[in-house]
Amino acid sequence: MKSNLVDWVITNMLAIQQGSLGHIRHVLKNDLKWIPFYGFYLQQHGCIYVRRNDKGDLNRVEKGMRQVLNNGLPIWLVIFPEGTRYNPINNKDAIERSRTFAQQKDLSPLDYVLYPRSGATVSAIKALKDKLDAVYDVTIMYNQTYDNDRQIRLAAPSMSEYLSGQTNELHIDIRRFRINEIPNETNEEISNWLYQRYYLKDKLLKEFYEFQKTKKTDSIIFKSDKDDIPFEIELPLRETIFSCIFFTLTTLPLLISERGRSIYWKFCLFGTPVTLLWMHLFPPLKNEN
- pLDDT the model gives residue 218: 67
Q: What CA dihedral angle connects 14, 19, 22 and 28, to 10 degrees? A: -20
Alpha carbon distance 146, 206 (integer Å): 11
Cβ atoms 162, 9 nearer than 8 A: yes
- In tens, the pLDDT along 248-261 reads 888 888 788 888 88
Nearest CA-CA partner of 9 in 146, 172, 137, 149: 172
Domains in the chain, CATH or no CATH each: 5-233 (3.40.1130), 238-288 (no CATH)
Is 80 exceeded by the pLDDT of residue 10? yes
Is 70 exceeded by the pLDDT of residue 1? no
Higher pLDDT, 197 or 166: 197
- Mean residue pLDDT of the chain comes to 79
- In tens, the pLDDT along 109-127 reads 888 888 898 888 988 898 8
Sign of the dihedral through C-alpha 278, 284, 285, 288:
positive
At residue 286 the predicted structure's pLDDT band, cuts being 50, 70 and 90, is very low
Compute the chain's Rg from CA coordinates.
Answer: 21
- In tens, the pLDDT along 178-206 reads 999 999 899 999 999 999 999 999 999 88
For residue 254, count other CB atoms closer than 10 A to its CB.
15
- pLDDT the model gives residue 56: 59
pTM greater than 0.85: no
Is 90 exceeded by the pLDDT of residue 158? no
The mean per-residue pLDDT over the stretch 203-229 comes to: 78
- pLDDT the model gives residue 235: 63
At residue 146 the predicted structure's pLDDT band, cuts being 50, 70 and 90, is confident
